[in-house]
Amino acid sequence: MISCSRSVGGRVLKLQRNHFHQNVTKLREASSIKVTPGKMVATNKSVAFCWLRNDLRYHDNEILTKANINADHVVPVYCFDPRHFKGTYHFGFPKTGPHRAKFLKESVEDLRATLRNRGSDLVVRIGKPEEVLPFLIKSVAATTSHLVFQEEVTKEEKDVERSVRDRCKDAGVNVHSFWGATLYHKTDLPFPINKVPDTYTNFRKAVEAQSRVRGVCNMPDKLKPLPENLDLGEIPTLSKLGVEELPMDQRTAFPFSGGETSGLARVKNYLWDTNNVANYKETRNGLLGEAYSTKFSPWLAHGCLSPRYIFNEIKKYESQRVANKSTYWVIFEMIWRDYFRFVCMKFGDRVFYPSGIMGKKVHWKRNAQLFEMWKDGRTGVPFVDANMRELKETGWMSNRGRQNVASFLLKDLGLDWRLGAEWFESQLLDHDVCSNYGNWNYAAGIGNDPRENRKFNMVKQGLDYDPEGNFIRVWVPELKNIKNARIHTPWKMNIAELTNAGVSLGEDYPKPVVIAPEWGRHDHKMNNSNSNKKQKGSWMPPGQKRGIDFYFSGNGK
């Protein structure tokens, strides 16, 4: 992914690589299955192969429409790339963890079902696209062959694109790429990519004033058929991909399946069925349940939902029901998503460097023990631990949680930001390379943030957004008998109080790995939580600025 040193500092890497070494071996064996020659499929017509990656949808899909217009046969293809199920670049965490792997598999299954309803199908292979696609195209004797795909941004994806393009062109295949991942098309920006502003506000104001969001593509009712007798391939099991299959944790705030069908249903529910979108700005910093935020991000990350489709639905909702700050804020946050993608285009590999896109030298520590405590939710700081356990068990974490656990790793523990970025890459349902690494640059103070030395106060944040400790009780049940807000600081309770709550610090629950001096400023709130005014979803302090829904930004301290 990046061109700097691969040295990792020992133990963290070994722990993770040993953990899933056997699964990777299984995957290597599985990935070799499709390389044997197959039956030649003959057709005297033109064929367009649509290479699908992070665009797993039928609606608003330009590569499908272009292929359908310009060829006699359309062949949608998805490759399960074995490299996506190996280790992350520096620390060897499973690159696609079990929750996202399950969501991805469900998304591929759903797309196949949708295509079948449209008179088509999805060809599925396990293997590297630069090997699979030329082989597949060669197996179909067409008068003219085309390969169509949606462009990506960062190095690993661009390297694969380049290799696919070169090999296909060498074989006489016509290669066409399109842009479709963002709300604003890259050619509609009011500046060239190398002039993308270094702050989000300037970017947003410029595109809102000078650019337009294009309409969604008109999709055909039916796609042109696949060539006859083409081997469709089977969608692999998670086990075949080297991934452990986990049951859904019933505590999850994201109880949804992957795929376009469930994504479209979520948009309908959040806007039209419940009107939750009209209160979004007030509830989006919630922590429990499915209703406090849009939850669109996993579907956006996999391309199961088009950002332009969501934009159009918001505009319809505003014209038919209500337009307010909440409805606008969903669009505001999709512009954040665009911004990080264009920032990654502008700065390239620098988003992965230790010094970030701004080239700022910071001394980061690598302490395997501290990192393990952070990722497993065993730091002894309940608000941090609750969020980290939710991530590990479900693949989901709220926006508010992401801001806080990132700040804790970076500012309280002083650990290398890339540890956090790669762990999020492994675990998040909604991992998007540009948004994830852009946001970790932002949190580490080496990215697009005009404010320096931002640090979140873990105790204040917990009291502000989980004043009664209900979120902590769900995810840190060892502390469930501690009453009210005192659950945020169990280390301040005396032995009698802890015994009465059935807690023994250092045994049932860890002692805190660090206590920041500023946490003590809010002791007076511990016994007054019942008097906190609550808004919809959860209590928010008046005037509190909040971060974005999909990732973490904002300056709430």
Binding residues for FAD, as ranges, are 280, 293-297, 333-340, 430-432
Residues 6+ apart with CB under 8 A from 302: 54, 56, 103, 104, 107, 258
Tracing tokens 């230790």 back to the chain, one arrives at: 354
Rounded Cα–Cα distance for residues 417 and 407 (Å) = 10
- Kind plus residue range of the DSSP H or E element containing 259: none
Rounded Cα–Cα distance for residues 169 and 130 (Å)? 12
551's CB contacts (< 8 A; 6+ apart) are 297, 336, 337, 340, 399, 402, 435, 436, 438, 439
DSSP 299-354: HHHTTSS-HHHHHHHHHHHHHHT---HHHHHHHHHHHHHHHHHHHHHHHGGGGGST
Query: How far is the first Cα of the chain from the last one, in angstroms, to the nearest whole number?
Result: 33
- Quote the tokens at residue 466: 């989980």
Q: Judge contact between 26 and 240, C-beta under 8 A.
A: yes
Q: How far apart (Å, rounded) are the C-alpha atoms in residues 363 and 342?
A: 28
Longest Cα separation, the chain: 84
Distance CA 491, CA 341 (A): 42
Q: What are phi and psi of 79, to 5 degrees?
A: -110, 125
Tell me the helices (H) and strands (E) count for the chain, helix number first. 19, 7
CA separation for the pair 59, 55 (Å, rounded)? 10
Output the CA angle 239-241-244, nearest 5 degrees. 45
Q: CA 277 → CA 204, 319, 439, distances in Å?
A: 21, 14, 24
Location of structure tokens 């996999």: 302
Binding residues, by number, are: 280, 293-297, 333-340, 430-432
CB 303 within 8 A of CB 181: yes
